[in-house]
Amino acid sequence: MAAALLRTGFHYGDFVRWLGGEYTGAQRDWDSTFDIVDSVRMATIPPDYPEIDFDRAVRIATEGVPLASHFENSFASVQTRERHDNASLTPDVLGEVRKKFTKEEKVSYHILFPRFI
């Protein structure tokens, strides 16, 4: 995994595409999924709903995300985020955060990267 991450320049989208298989949903029946997408393309969207970019959704499903990226941060902005007091959560909110994390963990993959790299 470490060699693959290094090879892809730590671009996780490329890394996950390289992994393929269950990481990308390659085992799914995409033809029937895209038939469903095509069947709802002309559906009337309620006026208070955002427009749906069906083509982008299909690209995300088949190519993964990010579709494109360029990340740039100043040292000061990173330093500000690092100094944020994440421990300021109140006990009642902490329970909700843990519940959300637990839910997300059930549908997540962990990609381990050796610390010494």
Reported as a single tens digit per residue, the pLDDT across 70-92 is 778 888 888 887 887 766 667 77
Find, among 6, 31, 29, the residue nearest to 18 by Cα.
Answer: 6
**pLDDT number for residue 17:** 81
* Token reading at 50: 């955002």
pTM of the model: 0.43
Q: Are 89 and 97 in contact (CB under 8 A)?
A: yes
Reported as a single tens digit per residue, the pLDDT across 88-104 is 667 778 888 888 888 88
Residue 20 Rama label (left phi>0; alpha psi -120 to 50; beta): left
CA 38 vs CA 27, 34, 52, 59: distances in Å: 20, 6, 12, 14
Which residues of the chain are modeled with pLDDT < 50?
none
* N- to C-terminal Cα separation, the chain: 11
**pLDDT number for residue 87:** 65
**pLDDT number for residue 117:** 57
